[in-house]
Amino acid sequence: MPLSVILGLRVRFYRKQKGVSQEKLAEICGLHPSYVGQIERGEKNITIEILYRLSQGLNVSMADLLQDIDHPDSSDSKILSEIYDTLFQLSEGDLKRIKRIFDDILNLMLHQ
C-alpha cells in the first residue's frame, strides 16, 4: 500500500475521531476542502509543512500520523488499513458498540 494512502487513512481516522468535517479541518489548516479529501484518499503526496498543519489542526503529533509508516507493506499495516476502511463507513452509534465489544475482547484476552 502506498505511503500516501496509509497517511491519508490516518488523517481520516483522527479527523473522524475528533468529529471534524473535511471542510472544518481544511479551514483550521488553511487548506482547500477538496485538497483534504485528496490527502485522505491518498491521491496527494504532502509536504512536511502540510503534515505539520494537519497535525496541528487535528491536535495530534506528527509522530502519531507517521507511526510505523516505514513498514507500509507489512501485513499489520494492510490489516489495519482494511479495519480503518470498514470503520469509517459506520455510524457513531455502531462505532461505540464495536468499541465496547473490542474492549470486552481485549479484557478477555488479557485475563486468560
Query: Residue ranges of the domains in the chain?
Result: 3-110
Residue 101, pLDDT above cutoff 60: yes
Provide the pLDDT for residue 76: 58
Q: Which residues contact 48 (CB under 8 A, 6 or more apart)?
A: none
Three-class SS of residue 59? coil
| Whether CATH 3.40.50.300 fits 3-110 | no
Spatial neighbors of 43 by CB under 8 A, at least 6 apart, are: 4, 8
CA distance 75 to 14: 22
Write out pLDDT tens, residues 62-73: 998 998 776 655
pLDDT at 111: 76
Give the whole-angstrom CA distance, residue 66 versus residue 63: 5
| Helix axes of 33-40 and 22-29: crossing angle, nearest 10 degrees | 110
Mean of all residue pLDDT scores within the chain: 86
Upper half-sphere CA count for residue 51 (Cβ side, 13 Å): 15
Contact 37, 22 (CB under 8 A): yes
Residue 22, pLDDT > 80, answer yes
pLDDT band at 112; cut points 50, 70, 90 = low
- Residue 25's pLDDT band, with cuts at 50, 70 and 90, is very high
* Residue 35 scores a pLDDT above 90: yes
The pLDDT of residue 86 is 81
